[in-house]
Amino acid sequence: MAETRLIYGFHAITAKLRHAAADVQEIIVAEGRQDGRMRDLLTLAEGLGVRVTLSDNARLDAMAGTVGRNTTHQGVVARVAAQARHMTLDDVLENLHEPALLLVLDSITDPHNLGACLRVADAAGAHAVIAPKDKACGLNATVIKVASGAADTVPYIVVTNLARSLREMQEREIWVIGAAGQASRDIYAIEQKGPIAWVLGAEGSGMRRLTRETCDELARIPMHGSVESLNVSVSAGLCLFESRRQRG
């Protein structure tokens, strides 16, 4: 039997049905739920010929890894085909019709942060999100749910050596900018009209030393209040949208 994985929540499952319905093997829904969101989802699944199974909340809780009153699955879980082939940076770059805009994440281990970063990357039109295999949470069900569909629209590329991957980007004339609070220049002072890869680390600890040293330059987000740092997804949004603003 082909390898499968679970995703849950209305946004994640609806996005999967719209973008890759053939990957959805089964949708398990809570018995008795008949509100508008559920009816819309079931109508979409029926139109695509996807099998729907009724179940109780206890089973859905167990499948989604939730307990008690935590209903993070929203009453719907889907069994989908695991990705058989991992997209590479070359796959992304060879199909671009504009300068590359990439988001590189270093040491992001919180699935909620990764999911939010994917959502921001989609909103800003980033062409891919790149992260290391180690020191990262990976594309799990929580990430997919938080991403609200962006996990199916933004390529997520896993690399074994992040510093080497950054050097490969530089060889392709992609300018690698690391977001760092101690940088002398801010994100608005750096020209970003050409191919750009923004590199962000975890809130607080930031990028690892080798990642930082591999960047072409560093830039800071101006902070005008009392807090010293922002959540990584907020920082990613500011950096990516500044790139988009400069490109007009």
pLDDT in tens, 85-122: 467 888 888 878 899 999 999 999 999 999 999 999 99
Classify domain 4-81 at the CATH topology level: 60s Ribosomal Protein L30; Chain: A; (3.30.1330)
Burial 199-209 (b: 16+ CB within 10 A, else e): bbbbbeebbbe
| pLDDT higher than 80, residue 28 | yes
Q: What is the mean pLDDT of the chain?
A: 88
Return the number of other C-beta atoms located less than 10 Å from residue 41's C-beta: 22
Burial 94-131 (b: 16+ CB within 10 A, else e): eeeeebbbbbbbbbbebbebbbbbbbbbbebebbbbbb
Instruction: Say if residue 162 carries a ligand binding annotation.
Output: no
Residue ranges of the chain that CATH labels 3.30.1330.30: 4-81
pLDDT in tens, 194-211: 999 999 998 777 899 999
- Pairwise CA distance, residues 73 & 57, whole Å: 9
Residue with tokens 């008690």: 68
Domain 89-247 architecture: 3-Layer(aba) Sandwich (3.40)
Residue ranges of the chain that CATH labels 3.40.1280.10: 89-247
Predicted confidence band at 2 (pLDDT cuts at 50, 70, 90)?
low
| pLDDT higher than 80, residue 236 | yes
Instruction: Say if residue 201 carries a ligand binding annotation.
Output: yes
- What tokens were used for 72? 């993070």
